[in-house]
Structures are given as structure tokens and as C-alpha cells.
Structure 1
Amino acid sequence: MLDELKEEEIVNKVGGRFKLSTLIQKRMVALNTGAKPLVQVPGGDRLQTVVQEILQDKIFLDVAGELQSRNATATANIAGNVFGSQKPAPIPTTQARDAD
């Protein structure tokens, strides 16, 4: 586990453990779907990249819980949206059927 995640500084910076977890998860999804990192981390570890983006105040969750960037030029790229202003299609889920 990363030492930075054990510190209260990062938890307090985003407003709690649940918000931190949400922010990390959303940013990891964005990086995995093509978003460009806002900081360079040796070794290319994506989790370390996300932690550094948070600690350097590069990313945050807005009041609606959406991932945002403090850098205006990076905001369009922050969510990994490589196709302009369109949001990616939701991932289909399989609904369990009742066995009658």
C-alpha cells in the first residue's frame, strides 16, 4: 500500500475516506480509458499517479461527485473522454432472472 494513503492529509484534502475512494476510482477508470496523466511518476504506476494528482491539487470531485481538474485545459481530458464532449456509453449490466 502507498504510504500517502495511510496519512490523514490526503483524506482531509478530499473531505473523507469515501470521497477519496470515489476520486481514486473515477480517476483510475479515466486513466485506464485513455486520459492523459496530469503528473509524471517514475515507473508509470497509475495509482501513484492518481495519488500525486490529488496531493498536488490537480484533481477533485465537484459537488455533484464528478471528477474535475483545476487546470482548465485538462478538464476536457480529465475523465478520459477522447471523443470530444460526448460521454462514454454506460457499461451494460446483466440482470439476474428469478427462477420460477
Structure 2
Amino acid sequence: MIEALKDDTVINALGGRFKFTSLVQHRVRELMDGDRPLVERNGRTDFEVAVQEVVEGKITLELPAEDEE
């Protein structure tokens, strides 16, 4: 599963490593607070589950819309 991160396709699709890391960190926090995983846990840690969800495209990064004045 972590092998998928060696290919930068997913990271580049999100806009870079910082955004990828922020997304995974936010999702790990949600999982720790009790949210249900969107993929099978199969004995994996919250971090591994969050990364797998990102790799499979089950969660994405949504930035707030900029207000045009």
C-alpha cells in the first residue's frame, strides 16, 4: 500500500506533497475521532487506511471557493 506512494501520480494530482500530507493528516484525525473508514481496515493503522483512501480517490482535497468582488 505504501508502495503506491513511490509513484508521484497521486501526489501530483493533489497539487504536491504538502497538500497530500495535509489531507492524510486531516483524515487520520477523523478516523481517530470515530469516523468509519471508506476502505476495508484489514488490520491496517489509521494512517495506512487514510493513505489507501486517498490513493483510491475516495477522499479528495476541496479548497474553499474564493469570493470574487
Normalised-by-shorter TM-score class: 0.7 to 0.9
Please state which structure has a larger fraction of its residues in strand: 1
- Give the deviation of 1:57 after TM superposition: 1.1
1:61 aligns with 2:25: no
Aligned partner of 2:9 in structure 1 is: 9
| Aligned partners of 1:38 and 1:58 also within 8 Å | yes
Unaligned runs of 5+ in 2: 65-69
Query: Percent of aligned pairs with the same residue?
Result: 37
Normalising by structure 2, we get a TM-score of: 0.78
Partner of 2:24: 24
Unmatched runs of 5 consecutive residues or more in structure 1: 65-100
CA contact (8 A) 1:4 1:51 kept: no
Tell me what 1:45 maps to: 45
In the TM superposition, what whole-angstrom CA distance separates every residue of 1:61-83 from its partner, at most 9, and x where no partner exists?
1112xxxxxxxxxxxxxxxxxxx
TM-score by length of 1: 0.56
Answer 1 or 2: which has greater helix percent. Answer: 2
With CA pairs under 8 Å and 6+ residues apart, which has the higher RCO, 1 or 2?
A: 2
